[in-house]
Amino acid sequence: MRHASISRETFVKGAAAGAAALSAGFPAFIPQRGDAADELKIGVLEEYTGTYATEGRNETRGAQIAVDAWNKRGGVLGRKVSLVKEDIQGDPGVTVQKARKLVNQDKAEVLFGCVSSADALSASSAAHAMNILYIDSGGHTDDVTGKACHWNTFRTCHSTWMETHATGYSIAKLFGKKWFLITPDYAYGHSLAVGYQDVIKRVGGQIVANELTPLGTTDFSSYLTKVEGAKPDVLVAMPQGNDLVNLLKQASSFGLLKKLPVAGPQVELETMWALPEEARVGYWGIEWYYKNDLVLGKNNALAAEFVQAYRKQYNEPPTARVCFGYTTADRMLWAISQAKTTDAAKVARTLENAHFRGLWEGSPYYRGADHQLMWPMWFAQIRAKGTPQDSHDIFDVKDRQEADQIEQTVAEKSAVCHMDYP
């Protein structure tokens, strides 16, 4: 498969810099009184405790790399950029409270974050009420850029429709058309189930069961004992974070992973690294990877230096969550710099449809119709032990699906998403 080539530049010395932040011409800091009022504050809403704590931490790490790079270039609008972080605890109600605190008390001028889709929907609504730009870095449910879209909300990670349609056809081809779904019982899982129902209808298959599991489930035995009796061709596992760790560990202990293939819409390095080797199995969608030509392209100096800098600082390679955080913060700061203001409407208009160089091969952009980042997804088989050269290298990437092939069309999204700018 041939992909469009992109130009690349190196990172600012001493830090992994954002692609946009590499351009010249940023002003030096213009100190006024030397106090915090001179800072441009980005409010960060992440799950630092609970099921998605590791993912939230890694999104923040990625964002900090982007912020550091912009600050080394002189900041944004002559102001030093800083992150103001709040733990939203995987609770949509807490998310709203923390969003208001960040804006009203801490004086954050933009917001980003969230791993849980339920939290992302709450953050989006709160930001809309406050007329503040919000970028959902990691909550996938279709509704964020679908029926619950807002003009001031953008999303970096893929939608659930993209995840299911990037993987569903391959799952059917590899294993068959009778699927047993284990689905997290909240906005993310519900959207995934809808996406897979669309795929299975198109391929003429059957979902033999759809077991809904609460977020934070530790014991999956009551669900797993039903699998063999349903006689599926494949177990489609959709929980994430610690929930997927528990699910796969228990499926392994039951001997199920040796009897039945397992696959899913996406999996994170954070999850697989937390598993024993015998439970590291399956075919999964992935949203970014720190190596492989199908992801990065060849001779991608930008991504290579990003990976090297991250490894040096944290003694492990960056994950897709790190990429989400980095991309979100970098594009947010680029748009503020280009618009020469933090006014939400002006920044949003600047961000719409602006193509940029990312940490992968291609020319991504936040689509104007729904504010979804349009970028590829990949399909990978798990390599339990990694490689002799790199024990972290556990994704054997098999395929790449382009954004316009896996996301709903502009016409389809425009029917449910209405960008009512003020």
Predicted confidence at residue 19, as pLDDT, reads 37
What are all long-range contacts of 20-25, with beta carbons under 8 Å and residues at least 24 apart? Answer: 20/330, 20/331, 20/333, 20/334, 20/356, 20/357, 21/66, 21/69, 21/70, 21/73, 21/330, 21/333, 21/334
Q: Quick one: tokens of 23?
A: 């351009």
Q: What is the pLDDT of residues 346-394, one digit of tens each?
A: 999 999 999 999 999 999 999 999 999 999 999 999 999 999 999 999 9
Least reliable range by pLDDT among 22-26, 118-122, 281-285, 411-415: 22-26
Query: How is the chain split into domains, by residue range?
Result: 20-158+292-371, 161-286+378-403
CATH code of domain 161-286+378-403 = 3.40.50.2300
Mean pLDDT, to the nearest integer, of 57-78?
97
Transcribe 205-243 into DSSP letters.
Answer: -EEEEEEEE-TT----HHHHTTHHHH--SEEEE---HHH
CB neighbours of residue 30 within 10 Å? 12
pTM of the model: 0.90
Tokens of 228: 């063999």
- Read off the pLDDT band of 38 (50, 70, 90): confident
Location of structure tokens 């279709």: 142
pLDDT tens-place string over residues 52-67: 999 999 999 999 999 9
Per-residue DSSP letters for 32-84? SSSSGGGSEEEEEEE--SSTTHHHHHHHHHHHHHHHHHHHHTT-BTTB-EEEE
In the predicted model, what is the mean pLDDT of residues 131-138?
Answer: 98
Q: Which residue has the tokens 């992801």?
A: 295
SS3 content of the chain, % helix, strand, coil (to 5): 40, 15, 40
Confidence at residue 14, expressed as pLDDT on a 0 to 100 scale? 33
Q: How far apart are CA 279 and CA 245, in angstroms?
A: 9
pLDDT of residue 2 exceeding 70, the answer is no
> What integer is the mean pLDDT of 44-50?
97
Question: 37: pLDDT confidence band, cut at 50, 70 and 90?
Answer: low
Cα 203 from Cα 245, distance rounded (Å)? 30
What does the block give as tokens for 245? 């760790």
Is 20-158+292-371's fold the same as 161-286+378-403's? yes
User: Which of the residue ranges 34-43, 170-179, 293-302, 366-375 would you say has the lowest mean pLDDT?
Assistant: 34-43
* Strand intervals (E) in 345-416: 365-366, 373-374, 377-382, 395-401
Domain 20-158+292-371: CATH superfamily is Response regulator (3.40.50.2300)
pLDDT of residue 32: 35
Span 136-161, mean pLDDT? 98
Rounded average pLDDT over 273-285: 96
Cβ 113 vs Cβ 137: under 8 Å: yes
**8-31 mean pLDDT:** 35
Q: Is 56 within 8 Å of 86 (Cβ atoms)?
A: no
Q: How far is CA 6 from CA 298, 360, 387, 391, 417, in A?
A: 10, 9, 29, 30, 31
Read off the tokens for 76: 């944004």
Residue 89, phi then psi, degrees to nearest 5: 65, 20
